[in-house]
Structure 1
């Protein structure tokens, strides 16, 4: 009986992690994603924000170089999960470049390329679209395991991190620059405010 109950609980956990639903909660000090359903845009304010995990991996263009989200402390980070095989990513990627070009003093776009077993294909994707922001090469999506419960099957998706390296927003859909820029501007305007003192509202 105990074994059967344990198996049922494990199955429920796996299903939650693979859901394309998208409400999210955070528990404790480490960000944990839970998806009971419905939304595609999730925002966190003040004390609801939790520290982003240390997401890192090989640079897509240089396997000897390590990229980490920790390299961009003090900036808003737009963490974009993409793949060259993904149709919506072809439209979204130039929009992410627009965000980087327009707000480069406030933001760093950081890609995570997933499900691309051949490194040359995503490299060509970036070259052909003149994308200059860096990307982590992560064909197995292992870096996303650090986000407990995050639906790794949703591509593209985007996690926006504030200047204090806390998760401020999650988008489980493809985005335009006009979706991202207002969020970045709002987070940048918070500056170095102590945690919990941010102005509410979007």
Structure 2
């Protein structure tokens, strides 16, 4: 019995550590986390502008068409998503650094109430509006770019509203997002 004790304890420790890693996937939570690798889309390969309207957490209408003329960063999030919580300070920092040269819009999915989403926004001092879409329908216009179950995800739209870059999973750093947006601003 003592011969088996040490290997069983080691196996239990490995399993526990695997459950606390930043690796992709969340088991039975109903969503997956991408690798956080940026993908850029060449100007000539971009599809039609993304058409999306929705209601933000305060009940105001948000229409991506109204934001055309400057790039827009769209971030898909959920208040109970650990990688979303890790990346939010980077998003806030990027939004502050880019100022009015770029618009930011969040899309909250999966929260069962607007109040849960508002609590996240207050807690992280999110400086931009988020569309509330508990059923996830707000991400349908991003089909082919976003995996519906990949939370968080971020998309950079060019000034014409077309997908110019995306990150499935947590944005690795503020600098990564700034570089993606600056490339679009320089076009």
Q: TM-score, normalised by structure 1?
A: 0.71
Q: Secondary structure at the match of 1:105?
A: helix
SS at match of 2:156: strand
* 2:48 corresponding residue in structure 1: 51
Counterpart of 1:102 (choices 88, 97, 101) is 97
1:138-177 aligned at under 5 Å gives the runs 138-149=133-144, 150-175=146-171, 176-177=173-174
| Unpaired segments ≥5 residues, structure 1 | 1-18, 23-37, 191-202
Q: 1:51: Cα distance to partner? A: 2.2
Per-residue deviation, 1:113? 0.2
1:125 aligns with 2:125: no
- Given the alignment, which residue of 78, 101, 112 partners 1:83? 78
List alignment gaps of at least 5 residues for structure 2. 1-30
Aligned to 1:189: 186
Q: CA deviation at 1:158?
A: 0.7
Q: Which has the higher Rg, Structure 1 or Structure 2?
A: 2
Q: Which structure is richer in relative contact order (CA contacts within 8 A, separation 6 or more)?
A: 2
Report if the CA contact (8 A) 1:20-1:151 is conserved: no
- Say whether the 8 Å CA contact 1:21–1:40 is kept in structure 2: no
Q: TM-score, normalised by structure 2?
A: 0.77
Say which is worse superposed, 124-133 or 38-47, in terms of deviation. 38-47
Offset, 1:39: 8.6
CA shift digits 1:143-192 (9 cap, x unpaired): 112223441100000111011211111110101211110111121122xx
For residues 76 and 123 of structure 1, what CA distance do their matches in structure 2 show? 25
1:1-20 per-position Cα deviation (integer Å, ceiling 9, x unaligned): xxxxxxxxxxxxxxxxxx97
8 A Cα contact 2:109 2:134, kept in partner: yes
SS in 1 for 2:176: helix
Instruction: Write 1 or 2 for the structure with the bigger share of helix.
Output: 2
* Structure 1 residue 21: Cα displacement: 10
Question: How far apart are the structure 1 equivalents of 2:142 and 2:71?
Answer: 18
Runs ≥4 residues deviating over 4 A? 19-22
